[in-house]
Structure 1
Amino acid sequence: MSHDFDTIIVGAGVVGLAVARLMAATGRSVLVVDRQDGIGRETSSRNSEVIHAGIYYPKGSRKARFCTRGRRMLYAYAAERGIPHAKCGKLIIATNDDETGVLDSLQERGRANDVEGLHLIGREAVARLEPDVTAVAALVSPETGVVDSHAFMLALQGDASNAGAEFIFHAPVTGGAVLDGGGYALHIGGIHDTTVSCRELIVSAGLGTNPFLEAVSGLSPRAIRPMYFAKGHYFRLAERSPFQRLVYPVPVKGGLGTHVTVDLGKQARFGPDVCWIDGLDYQFDESRRDAFFQSIRRWYPAIRLDALVPDYTGIRPKLVPAGQPDGDFEIDGVDRHGHEGLVVLYGIESPGLTSSLAIAEATFGLMEPAARAAE
């Protein structure tokens, strides 16, 4: 059975772009569709732009494996392509003696995940590295960094386009079907109003994953997982950053604590917090400022309330509800849902940016057996 494209990728965030780059490089005809007006308009552009080392995640989990491998791949790719980035390092701090045990556990977990260079320091060493930070101890992560996420995504899009991939935006998928002869048909609405077919379908739609899958007839119920949404607020510091590296408190449920990142322009930004929401709502709740202030002043006592300026919000696609341990990345292939040529990516939140190139590798690996069988 002939199809319009070998592969359609739904979602032009950082992971969808990384997948498109790999798939197009094999000579496949690839179409990337996104409901937004350009690349990376949702989760991929509403985050801290951190290159994570791989410390926090259970040994053997996809988050642990893909973060460590993805970090190394991302640094190499950024250097090769001239993408702005900096390996600035990070301190995970204990603000009291009760929290020092958490640092020990994080160091042990990070080393189990093959994270290089982790070491513990005391109060005086923290003060030398970050004079404005008050902490009794810290875990130093020299491999943590920041990247210009938009430049990274533009490079991925460029690679995919140069290999022949096509992109269409303002392209909501309003319906679709599993085809009897194999493959998938998608109806694209908006300004396009057309139907296209493919042999392989990769769903990297982030927050829009379930509405998309629900619009495709003939899919097994096992193709759809429950999703939950956690909104995070970011406040920027309305003065010169006193920090030379990233500073994180010990983790909290649902996130990594209200931390500070310093971007490539030396702008300090605090967040995100964790607010569980029922739908996609990016509205900024300025009343969160007081909670931010109280949390930050525990380790940055010089912070002023009026120096915290609302910046933006982001929404993380979660696979578990509030109060549960974080879920893993899920890359659902035929073994999960029974459909040849279909891969659905779920729960791609932090460290998704760092892990994107490794996630793309794993997705590509699931597609290769199906591609060989179709030859």
Structure 2
Amino acid sequence: MALTKFSPIFKRSLKTNPIKSCISFLTNGNIYDLAIVGGGIVGLATAREIKIRFPHLNLVVLEKEKDLSRHQSGHNSGVIHAGIYYPPGSLKAKLCVEGLRLSYIYADEKKIPYRKCGKLIVAVEEHEIPKLDDLISRATINKVPGIQMVSADEIPQIEPHCRGLRAIYSPETGIIDWRQVALSYAKDFESAGGVIYTDFQADHFTEVMNADFPISIRRKIDNSSSNIPEVTCKYVIACAGLQSDVVAMKTGCSKHPKIVPFRGDYLLLKEEKCHLIKGNIYPVPDPRFPFLGVHFTPRIDGSVWLGPNAILSFKREGYGKFDISPKDTLDFLFYPGLLKIAWRFFGIGMKEIYRSIFLSNQVKLLQKYVPELQVSDVTRGPSGVRAQALSPQGNLVDDFVFDHGDGPVGKRVLNVRNAPSPAATSSLSIARMIVDRASEEYGLSSQK
């Protein structure tokens, strides 16, 4: 699938600058105070935040792909979430509401295009109304700005082509290109003196006999064009997304929770039908799942995406229906938690697969919200893969998770183990929390 388009001013941040890499190697021998593993939106936001607070520290971001933000940060709905869904007191609730405010401030400061188009969460069945009441109670406790309940008659005033029994309206929900935001974080980081190495897959984390810089991170030996085989550092923050459990285990951390990839396929509304949708239209979510259901999402480029569904992917970073990695598949198929959840939700999983195959079935679901929609109005669109953490008991982990490992390396590594949606919206607030924790645990100082 083609990557989300981005502004040419950010292209410089996508690849390792060979001159800068050479200068970095000559001046510090690839020795750093702290290495951030993962060049997605959370890793880049964290690197930026550390550099802002501790400008004297030598920092490096290690990204395994040739470009930054290739996966979840570049394959998502592009929604700026307001914090409606998340249990009060959870990290998601706190960090999303804070992240909403910070995201708009940052986008204004950097002149990154966005649109506050709002969101409707629409009940189309009577049994969904109590769930809608629960959601607005959560949103009120979470202090989501501007949230309100609207009647069936008021829904068309907000979305002329939408129908429902009742809906929650969130005027502060918006849309943005999150990859463009991530690349802007990278630009900030590099401008402040940070170093980014792409094409560097961190594969071995070992202790070395250096009291000041005791961790060696070696790159995976493959056909990579990277000329940087190793970096040495004091501390590591791993924000590895779909590879977070793999990286965590390599640093001496627990194998739990396991990352299970779920592919989501989108439909595209044909250009002549995009007038049907003004803002985000979401269903009332099933509380058993962390997925928000098939929804209507306008994009910054003027297109409208419908979806996604949620289907088990047989490759961590496989965006095609037939992308299979035997290694990835065996890795999670024999995980006890997956067998338990597969048995529990077998029927729902089969419905998702059926809808992904038959376009008319997917459109039938969408017609509950926009009756005018026809099969002829849509085409198949892009796909994304979501990293979903799963416990050994077969429970979907529904909050952000961070942990440390044991031993000489593990105790110096902070792992972001689960950061699904709304991680993009929350990226700046997550970064602040990570840096607060790293500052306390690692004794980082604002002075040399």
Q: Secondary structure at the match of 1:150?
A: helix
Identify the residue that residue 228 of structure 1 maps to in structure 2: 260
Identify the residue that residue 22 of structure 1 maps to in structure 2: 49
Q: Secondary structure at the match of 2:254?
A: helix
Q: Secondary structure at the match of 1:170?
A: coil
- Pick the aligned partner of 1:300 from 365, 370, 391: 370
Q: Secondary structure at the match of 1:56?
A: coil
Shift of residue 337 of structure 1?
Answer: 10
Identify the residue that residue 244 of structure 1 maps to in structure 2: 278
Instruction: Indicate yes or no: 2:154 matched with 1:136.
Output: no
Residue range with higher mean Cα deviation, 23-32 or 37-46: 23-32
In 1, distance between residues paired with 2:30 and 2:197? Answer: 18
Q: Percent identity?
A: 28
Question: Structure 1 residues 200, 337: CA separation in 2 closer, same or farther (over 3 Å shift)?
Answer: closer
Instruction: Indicate yes or no: 2:398 matched with 1:344.
Output: no
Identify the residue that residue 32 of structure 1 maps to in structure 2: 61
Question: Structure 1 residues 210, 307: CA separation in 2 closer, same or farther (over 3 Å shift)?
Answer: same
**Cα shift readout 1:194-213 (whole Å, capped 9, x = no counterpart):** 11111110100101123333
Instruction: Indicate yes or no: 2:118 matched with 1:84.
Output: no
In 2, distance between residues paired with 1:283 and 1:153? Answer: 24
Q: Secondary structure at the match of 1:124?
A: coil
Residue range with higher mean Cα deviation, 171-180 or 39-48: 171-180
Identify the residue that residue 432 of structure 2 maps to in structure 1: 361
**Cα shift readout 1:130-172 (whole Å, capped 9, x = no counterpart):** 1211211111011111112122112111110011111111111
State the aligned residue count. Answer: 371
Shift of residue 291 of structure 1?
Answer: 3.3
Question: Structure 1 residues 373, 103: CA separation in 2 closer, same or farther (over 3 Å shift)?
Answer: closer
- Pick the aligned partner of 2:385 from 311, 315, 330: 315
Contact map agreement 2:175 2:300 (CA 8 A) in 1: yes
In 1, distance between residues paired with 2:83 and 2:406? Answer: 27
In 1, distance between residues paired with 2:398 and 2:207? Answer: 29
Identify the residue that residue 149 of structure 2 maps to in structure 1: 120
In 2, distance between residues paired with 1:70 and 1:353? Answer: 9
Shift of residue 223 of structure 1?
Answer: 6.8
In 2, distance between residues paired with 1:316 and 1:337? Answer: 32
Shift of residue 334 of structure 1?
Answer: 6.6
**Cα shift readout 1:241-287 (whole Å, capped 9, x = no counterpart):** 11111100101334111001101222111111111234323114861
Contact map agreement 1:52 1:71 (CA 8 A) in 2: yes
Identify the residue that residue 185 of structure 2 maps to in structure 1: 156
**Cα shift readout 1:274-314 (whole Å, capped 9, x = no counterpart):** 11234323114861523321210111111121322122111
In 1, distance between residues paired with 2:104 and 2:88? Answer: 22
Contact map agreement 2:215 2:409 (CA 8 A) in 1: no
Contact map agreement 1:10 1:202 (CA 8 A) in 2: yes
Contact map agreement 2:290 2:398 (CA 8 A) in 1: no
Question: Structure 1 residues 105, 316: CA separation in 2 closer, same or farther (over 3 Å shift)?
Answer: same
Which runs of no fewer than 5 residues in structure 1 stay unpaired?
none
Identify the residue that residue 327 of structure 1 maps to in structure 2: 398
Question: Structure 1 residues 163, 101: CA separation in 2 closer, same or farther (over 3 Å shift)?
Answer: same
In 2, distance between residues paired with 1:258 and 1:373? Answer: 44
Which runs of no fewer than 5 residues in structure 2 stay unpaired?
1-28, 323-355
Identify the residue that residue 15 of structure 2 maps to in structure 1: none
Q: Secondary structure at the match of 1:301?
A: coil
Identify the residue that residue 93 of structure 1 maps to in structure 2: 122
Q: What is the one-letter code of the residue matched to 1:90?
A: K
**Cα shift readout 1:180-222 (whole Å, capped 9, x = no counterpart):** 6463211124223511111110100101123333444xx2x43
Question: Structure 1 residues 302, 202: CA separation in 2 closer, same or farther (over 3 Å shift)?
Answer: same
Question: Structure 1 residues 360, 307: CA separation in 2 closer, same or farther (over 3 Å shift)?
Answer: same
Residue range with higher mean Cα deviation, 70-79 or 232-241: 232-241
In 2, distance between residues paired with 1:34 and 1:40? Answer: 9
